[in-house]
Structure 1
């Protein structure tokens, strides 16, 4: 799947401009520098998988894209917005960038439909029949149409994670971020969630995944980015996992991490 030539629908992003651009981005937590000059472009329609050992900076890079972490140096633009600009509006960015974490963070006292539509109702003022229509649409996307009236405790872990994905989709994001969303699931439930991501990828959704699922990354991602010690160490398509250029990636793949 190669959708890099797709033109942008966002007036803030001109045709040919990457939807996400890291330019020598650095991020530190106190004295610990986690990102050490990341340069990376993500084009609209691309699926990008970030791989690497724990502590290599993958999740930090992802959180920077959504503004959950503020960069210390370099430049980062997302959906045409400079995240260091004086007039940068974090709320506007988060309307366009959805993120799903390992933990589901669903409200236990709300039904699946209520969880999924909470943000559109509160942020976008969605009302009436439009609420149910939106819930039906995004729950169908994740294969949970029949669970709209259920509560989170009545669902499996895989189903709860799919509800979390539907919740992000309900905001009509331009970009979806997934941070190790299958790491707490058993293999069967992992398969449920990965099939949803594959379906979104086939539909042209721009996505950035932090994952340890190497076979899945090789199959679905347009670009795989191997991070090591806070840097982009190697990047390419799925073939690079079969024929690594660097000993670091060779060791990583060989260890099955």
Structure 2
């Protein structure tokens, strides 16, 4: 895959500096710092409870942090007066659960945000929806309802819905964990295609082979901290006992 990353000296498009997050007595993030360059694909790995998904949710202001700083696409996400509408025009997030509206067709699900947020005319929004569905290989499903789709197709529709807002950064939170291997492959091919086109992506994943093949940076989190970070070679030569143990359990 071609290296589509921008100049490494350029300003990062996502930056976390000494981020701490607590849920009551549970100190979930313990000083997490991470810079992501434009066009970079970052895979965050680690065992359950290591803080991976919480870190991702803090980037989109779905969770607020206790201390530290987060900047995403020029927005200071750690500040309480952040313009959420502007932030979420620049960042898309896809979860393990598809969150499609069951009473709307696939194309209507995708048209909803461009029409309500961007005030896009209906005909233009429908054209956009069809273009996004074509990108994820679902154009023939445009008039169907979510319950008529397989899990993999619903997840691809959820990705198309996020792409319709033309975000600068995409966040993926364990988007394949509820899918069987064949459906997982469908979704990962869509994400891999986005990576090849230069989309900046940060994904929490347990798909080690996919992370090895697609990610420009792999981040291993453990106990609320980043323990190791680098390219795919860190999976072949882990420097900490924690990553060695994690990889043994994943095989």
Q: Above 0.5 in TM-score?
A: yes
1:231 to 203, 206, 225: 225
Instruction: Give, in angstroms, the shift of residue 130 of structure 1.
Output: 0.5
The alpha-carbon deviation at position 131 of structure 1 amounts to 1.4
Which residue does the alignment assign to 1:20?
A: 14
The CA deviation string for residues 67-103 of structure 1, in whole angstroms up to 9 with x for no partner, is 1001111111111111233542112101111000000
Cα shift at 1:6 = 5.4
Matched, 1:5 2:6: yes
Name the CA distance, whole Å, in 1 between partners of 2:81 and 2:173.
28
Shift of 1:32: 0.9
| Matched residue, 1:192 | 186
Alignment: residue pair count = 250
Greater Cα offset, 120-129 or 50-59:
120-129
Counterparts of 1:216 and 1:87, CA distance in 2: 37
Return the TM-score normalized by structure 1. Answer: 0.94
2:204 corresponds in structure 1 to 210
User: Partners in 2 of 1:233 and 1:142 — Cα distance?
Assistant: 34
Matching of residue 82 in structure 1 with residue 76 in structure 2: yes
Matches within 5 A, 1:69-218: 69-85=63-79, 87-218=81-212
Structure 2's unaligned 5+ residue stretches are none
Instruction: Give the structure 1 partner of residue 43 of structure 2.
Output: 49
Asked whether the equivalents of residues 119 and 171 of structure 1 are also in contact (C-alpha less than 8 Å), the reply is yes
Q: Is the 8 A contact 2:68 2:78 kept in 1?
A: no
Give the TM-score taking structure 2 as reference length: 0.97
* Contact persistence 1:25–1:74 (CA under 8 A): yes
Deviations 1:106-158 (A, max 9, x none): 11111100001111111111113211210111001111011111111111000
Unpaired stretches in structure 1, ≥5 consecutive residues: 8-14
CA contact (8 A) 2:172 2:202 kept: yes
Paired position in structure 2 for 1:11: none
